[in-house]
Amino acid sequence: AQSVTQLGSHVSVSEGALVLLRCNYSSSVPPYLFWYVQYPNQGLQLLLKYTSAATLVKGINGFEAEFKKSETSFHLTKPSAHMSDAAEYFCAVSGSASKIIFGSGTRLSIRP
Amino acid sequence: DAGVIQSPRHEVTEMGQEVTLRCKPISGHNSLFWYRQTMMRGLELLIYFNNNVPIDDSGMPEDRFSAKMPNASFSTLKIQPSEPRDSAVYFCASSLDGEVNTEAFFGQGTRLTVV
């Protein structure tokens, strides 16, 4: 069975500061891991995904995430926050089957 | 491709009425998911289909909820009878399940309000 835990339901950073959103996963098989972003009144869209090709994954809008098997983590980072990054971010995991399980989400706020 | 298409975008209904939500997945995708999103419970997987067959419906909350996928290009989620606690945003998503799991592509959601 797979699951993800997102630490921190709300993160607030200043514009230009580092963004770090935490995600830990649990999986009985080698996982596929995803980060999605949801803007208000929108569906979810993919930021990036890990499929075992490389441990450091680069996504859209300057985001990246590093897969660390020893820590069972897949934290999302961005060096410099922009006001447009304010949104809800979801970590997700799937295993050998199609089933994709999402974390509880982290709301990112950006202070001017 | 137009992406995953859900209808209606908004639905307001009275308690006890039947509600049907519709989804057209991306052409060629063979997995389809129904999720429910609420403030209290976050994003919950209700059911998912692979090649039109329901694989896991353990997330369906009660017998009042049912989902069908009669063909590769259409799925419905029905609530009968509806209750105020069913108020939520319901998302449909689809993916291509192969040797490497691809991401799920989401529709815009249906915002359901049961009064």
Q: Which pLDDT score, from 0 to 100, does residue B62 have?
A: 87
CB contact A32 to B (< 8 Å): yes
Q: How many of the other CB atoms lie within 10 Å of CB of B70? A: 9
**CB contact (8 A) between residue A100 and residue B91:** no
CB contact A9 to B (< 8 Å): no
What number is the average pLDDT over the span A51-58? Answer: 86
SS3 state at B4: coil
Q: What is the mean pLDDT of chain A?
A: 92
Start-to-end C-alpha separation, chain B: 36
Predicted confidence (pLDDT) at residue A34 exceeds the cutoff of 80 = yes
Predicted confidence (pLDDT) at residue A20 exceeds the cutoff of 70 = yes
Q: Which pLDDT score, from 0 to 100, does residue A2 have?
A: 82
What does the pLDDT look like over B102-112, one tens digit per residue? 788 999 999 99
Q: How many of the other CB atoms lie within 10 Å of CB of A101? A: 20
Predicted confidence (pLDDT) at residue A1 exceeds the cutoff of 80 = no
**Which of B103, B106, B111 would you mutate first to test chain A, the one with the most A CBs within 10 A?**
B103
> Rounded to a whole number, what is the largest CA-CA distance in chain B?
45
**pLDDT grade for B96, boundaries at 50, 70 and 90:** confident
Predicted confidence (pLDDT) at residue A41 exceeds the cutoff of 90 = no
Least confident of A85-99, B1-15, B56-70: A85-99
CA-based nearest residue to A93, from A30, A52, A51, A34: A34
Q: Which pLDDT score, from 0 to 100, does residue B98 have?
A: 66
Q: Which pLDDT score, from 0 to 100, does residue B7 have?
A: 97
A100 to chain B: which residues are within 8 Å by CB?
Answer: 33, 45, 93, 95, 101, 104
Percentage of chain B surpassing pLDDT 90? 83
Q: Which pLDDT score, from 0 to 100, does residue A95 have?
A: 73
**pLDDT grade for B1, boundaries at 50, 70 and 90:** low
**pLDDT grade for B75, boundaries at 50, 70 and 90:** very high
Predicted confidence (pLDDT) at residue B99 exceeds the cutoff of 80 = no
